[in-house]
Amino acid sequence: MENTRALTGFGAPPLGRVLMVQGTASHVGKSVLVSALCRIFRQDGFRVAPFKAQNMSNNSYVTRDGGEIGRAQAVQAEAAGVEARVEMNPVLLKPEADHIAQVVRMGRPMVSARVRDYFGLKTQLWESVHSSLDTLRSEYDVVVIEGAGSPAEINLKATEIVNMRVALYSGAPVLLCGDIDRGGVFASLVGTMALLEPEEREVIKGFIINKFRGDASLLADGLTMLEERTGIPVAGVVHHYRDIHIPEEDSVALDIPLRTGSDSEAAMLDVAVIQLPHISNFDDFDPLSREPGVRLRYVSGAGELGQPDLIVLPGSKTTIPDLAWMNAQGLSPAIKRLHQEGAALLGICGGYQMLGKHLYDPDGIESTLPEMEGLGLLPLTTVFAGTKETHRIRGEVVEGSGLLRGAVGAPITGYEIHMGRTTGEGVSLPFRIDDRTDVAVTADTAYDGAMDESGQVLGTYVHGLLHNGQLRRALLEELARRKGVVLPQSSELGAMDAEFDKLADWVRGSIDMDLVYSITGLNRDFDRDDA
């Protein structure tokens, strides 16, 4: 039975409970742990929402009303079984160059700022942070909060708005997570505690050792020492997993150069994704990594390309600078050569723009370079403008030739995040857009994408395109047909509900949930008939 109010006692309290996950560093597993906790609380009958005050990532998502938030918070909302909304990530920083980032506030671009200028915005941004958290707490039984980086970054503590300031403001108990796979986890946890202020140490209620490999009993002495030295209990040891598929938040994950759903020696199709310096929404390609018979690689140099069956140009926060980087790396001529030799090409968002003949940025929206020649593989021109297009979309494949042979009629859902407008002639328009959730579909916006006459070059503005199973499978089977191989049957591992349930079971069995409920103040035995 669903809990309609999280607390024991009489009456409805004004704000729901909070629980916060902080880390000793970036990429220690905070985002995935928050997803797991959101799913666990949902399974236990609570209304739960995720929250991250400030996220720095080019991996973003579009809410139903056209707002832009970090992709991780959208994943966490899905785990919680609720609609993603801008209050879940009120501040998003999208890096554009060294020391410069676009500041997205409450889902809308605010300004592109240098680091020093950004500090002057903190007062305004904090208003959005605490009001968003208050809003979520007024509507949900529990809000699971994710920190960013480490709370012990002493050069940032005075002005931070995402770690201890949020915990102290909301009274959130904190689980401090360390990544043992990187090494030095005990020093990281003890060192973090040593650098916190006394009132900050008080809110740390448990440690989590994440990504452990091996026999947990071998950690016993270390865990005992950690608890005795700090007075903080170890809430759990979470083992490394291989068969649970949750999208990664940070491009740090791409440091692993090969991700494949099958033995790479047995892979029948080779897919190479260009790892651009400002790659965005790289989780677009996660479904490929789970397809049997498909090898997915991220490459950053011409010598790494090999002979792929499909080359993917991904999204980019700064299309023209990333295209210039491709030229300098020798990737552009290598890609064109491989295309002439039979490799197929897929461009998404910024990668779609790169496939065209010309890119113009007269107002310096994304670059100091006013124009650049594209790869010239599609007869298209892109002009960057000041208005960012952010929409959720629903539509259908209307082209049944080339790479989309067998896909005609397949439904598609996804989202758009781009600054440029792309036009041209002499191409087929492969995708019909039936619905944009926040704006009306017009004659100019009723179709998306382009495919050349050969059917070997396909571009689109739709992020999440490959998450559509029927389309993805048709594209892969067409590549296999051309190569003369037969792919194994897909088991549709991308069904995220099942993945979230597996993750929840994994984490529930690894951490002390009695401790979690105790520090959070939630009552698992609460029955709404008793309210």
**Catalytic site residues?**
349, 463
Beta strands in 404-512 (DSSP E): 411-424, 431-436, 447-448, 450-451, 457-460
Phi, psi at 354, each rounded to 5°: -65, -30
Nearest residue to 69 (alpha-carbon basis) of 12, 136, 160, 140: 136
Contacts of 167 (CB under 8 A, 6+ apart): 20, 22, 145, 147, 174, 200, 203
Indicate the pairing of strand 315-316 with strand 310-313.
unpaired
- Cβ burial, residue 34 (10 Å; 0-12/13-18/19+): buried
Nearest residue to 55 (alpha-carbon basis) of 210, 131, 166: 166
CA distance 186 to 184: 6
Within a 10 A sphere around the Cβ of 195, how many other Cβ atoms?
15
- Cβ burial, residue 514 (10 Å; 0-12/13-18/19+): exposed
The two structure tokens encoding residue 278: 């400002």
DSSP one-letter string for 354-389: HHSSEEE-TT-SS-S--EEE---SSSEEEEEEEEEE
CA distance 245 to 139: 29
Within a 10 A sphere around the Cβ of 379, how many other Cβ atoms?
15
